[in-house]
A and B are shown apart, each in its own frame.
Chain A
């Protein structure tokens, strides 16, 4: 087992009567990309805030790079980079000043700052824009500048809170590319939060599904999906769902049946979708359930989320 870059045991956080975290355990190996996947308000940002020493947990403990986040906060701070959920940049400074001031806060010598700056401008492709004021940047450029700032001090662990929120598809794929490169080429450990399933699927070697302050499932995207069955037949329809669900559940090849009330959708997990499709749809006939739409797919992380929380994860 590789060395652990991040550990957490029993993290809880109370804000008055509100429970933001309800006991989170984490073990993230060095060199992995770990994605915390969950809806807004699930506790992802609170987890990042505790791991980056911004917030104290109500109970529980955590380490980053082997240092305790409470007792050795400065050692933790020195070995991590962070980008926050909101864009956190001074509009009146140039990109170069933002990076330079960041390096100075960490007491990087001038020669090192100039070298890092040149490397990072190259990596995130900011080019000549680096000498323009941040207020002239597009959303994608701001995100890229923030990523560069997080990397300025050559952290061992990088935390990214919703790194592509609000970006157009082209910029999202661009950020994904940088994240993959940082992990593969430089062996950087990344912990990112996201409420986009495709983002977790595209980037993460480990996914933790968070809901209402708890980690409800954890594993590689492949493992998480495999527990649900080989294929999923999604049946959307009108009328009496219960009979249909009971009928389908009785079929021998059905691994599991789930419903998503909000979408009037029934999800039937089977061993082999294309061979069982006809029988599944046939089960609907004559019991008051009118099938409107049927799709056949490999289960996704979205289905995993629905399975563990009883609710669909919406973007």
Chain B
């Protein structure tokens, strides 16, 4: 799948060249940590025995992974709307490599975003658990989750008719992802109806696992379940992207 590498490489070249996109993404996430995190920290000293910054960081990492994925989906959408996809389709390369090229570049951007966030969060006072294996496991989980977000973004990009339509659809995922999850508050304080919604959100499981693995919080959901949900989410979204992409190029 050399073509996958060529397309990934091309997307990363374009990404590193678009300074506005880079700055915007980085700033958006940093503002979350600096403004929201620091502000709330004044009010809430700790949650579940951890400082608030460590508590909200996993959620903000997930959010910035979504931001990265949205940017990656935009590239596929842009190439589709401009017709650049036709250049790939007329070339003797596997159709799947076109989607994989976009998926790998999208996941790469999501991971870069997540990593920036982690570093900023630690600089702002989040405290990691002592076990480096836990950090690695968390990064791996975030990477799998980023693949899922990328699939979601690419699936939407494969069917959107315009850039505005794409952003509209993505926005639908964006807010509930953060607020209908345990990103900002513990599950224990939620009323039953909200708990039901929050438990349907795969982000909840990612956040719970990352908190436990990287920041040493007690798990509130069984760890194997969390890992399974994250993997299922990634597989499901990838499948969806594949399906919608196939449909879009055969039209």
A interface list, Cβ under 8 A from B = 52-54, 56, 74-75, 77-78, 80, 82, 84, 86, 88-90, 92-93, 97, 101-102, 104-107, 149
For A91, give the chain B residue with the smallest CB separation.
B82
Interface size of B by CB at 8 A reads 22
Q: A90-B14, A101-B10, A107-B2 are in contact. Are A84 and B92 (CB under 8 A)?
A: no
When chains A and B are docked, how far (Å) is the Cα of A101 from the Cα of B88?
Answer: 11
For A90, give the chain B residue with the smallest CB separation.
B84
Contacts of A52 in B (CB 8 A): 90
A86's contact among B6, B17, B83, by CB below 8 Å, is which? B83
When chains A and B are docked, how far (Å) is the Cα of A149 from the Cα of B91?
Answer: 12
Q: A88-B82, A92-B14, A92-B17 are in contact. Are A101 and B90 (CB under 8 A)?
A: no
A106's contact among B7, B14, B79, B92, by CB below 8 Å, is which? B92
Contacts of A97 in B (CB 8 A): 10, 13
- Cβ B90 vs Cβ A80 within 8 A: yes
Contacts of B6 in A (CB 8 A): 101, 104-105
When chains A and B are docked, how far (Å) is the Cα of A145 from the Cα of B69?
Answer: 31
CB distance from B158 to the nearest CB of A (A): 16
When chains A and B are docked, how far (Å) is the Cα of A90 from the Cα of B88?
Answer: 13
- Cβ A53 vs Cβ B90 within 8 A: yes
Closest 3 CB pairs of A and B: A77-B92, A88-B83, A78-B92
For B78, give the chain A residue with the smallest CB separation.
A90
Q: Please list 23 pairs of residues, one from A and one from B, whose beta carbons are closer than 8 Å in the complex, sorted by A's number.
A: A52-B90, A56-B250, A77-B90, A77-B91, A80-B90, A82-B86, A82-B90, A84-B86, A86-B83, A88-B83, A89-B82, A90-B14, A90-B79, A92-B14, A92-B18, A93-B10, A93-B13, A93-B14, A97-B13, A102-B91, A104-B2, A105-B88, A105-B93
Contacts of B13 in A (CB 8 A): 93, 97
Contacts of B31 in A (CB 8 A): none
CB distance from A122 to the nearest CB of B (A): 23
Q: Is B45 part of the binding interface, using a Cβ–Cβ cutoff of 8 Å?
A: no
When chains A and B are docked, how far (Å) is the Cα of A90 from the Cα of B17?
Answer: 12
For A153, give the chain B residue with the smallest CB separation.
B91
A88's contact among B7, B10, B86, B250, by CB below 8 Å, is which? B86
When chains A and B are docked, how far (Å) is the Cα of A57 from the Cα of B171?
Answer: 38
For A74, give the chain B residue with the smallest CB separation.
B92
For B10, give the chain A residue with the smallest CB separation.
A101
A54's contact among B82, B84, B90, B92, by CB below 8 Å, is which? B90
A-B contact count (CB 8 A): 57
Q: Is B89 part of the binding interface, using a Cβ–Cβ cutoff of 8 Å?
A: yes
Contacts of B89 in A (CB 8 A): 53-54
CB distance from B214 to the nearest CB of A (A): 36
Most buried by B among A74, A77, A90, A93: A90
When chains A and B are docked, how far (Å) is the Cα of A104 from the Cα of B91?
Answer: 11
Contacts of A93 in B (CB 8 A): 10, 13-14
For B2, give the chain A residue with the smallest CB separation.
A107
Most buried by A among B6, B79, B83, B87: B87
Q: Is B47 part of the binding interface, using a Cβ–Cβ cutoff of 8 Å?
A: no
Contacts of A88 in B (CB 8 A): 82-84, 86-87
When chains A and B are docked, how far (Å) is the Cα of A106 from the Cα of B87?
Answer: 11
When chains A and B are docked, how far (Å) is the Cα of A149 from the Cα of B92?
Answer: 15
Q: Is B3 part of the binding interface, using a Cβ–Cβ cutoff of 8 Å?
A: yes
Q: A92-B17, A93-B14 are in contact. Are A105 and B86 (CB under 8 A)?
A: no
19 other A-B residue contacts (CB within 8 Å) besides A97-B10, A102-B91:
A53-B89, A53-B90, A54-B86, A54-B89, A56-B250, A74-B92, A75-B92, A80-B90, A82-B86, A88-B84, A88-B86, A89-B82, A90-B10, A92-B18, A93-B13, A101-B6, A101-B10, A105-B88, A105-B93
- Cβ B91 vs Cβ A106 within 8 A: yes
When chains A and B are docked, how far (Å) is the Cα of A89 from the Cα of B87?
Answer: 9
Contacts of B83 in A (CB 8 A): 84, 86, 88
Contacts of A82 in B (CB 8 A): 86, 90
When chains A and B are docked, how far (Å) is the Cα of A306 from the Cα of B245?
Answer: 42
CB distance from A143 to the nearest CB of B (A): 14
CB distance from A7 to the nearest CB of B (A): 19
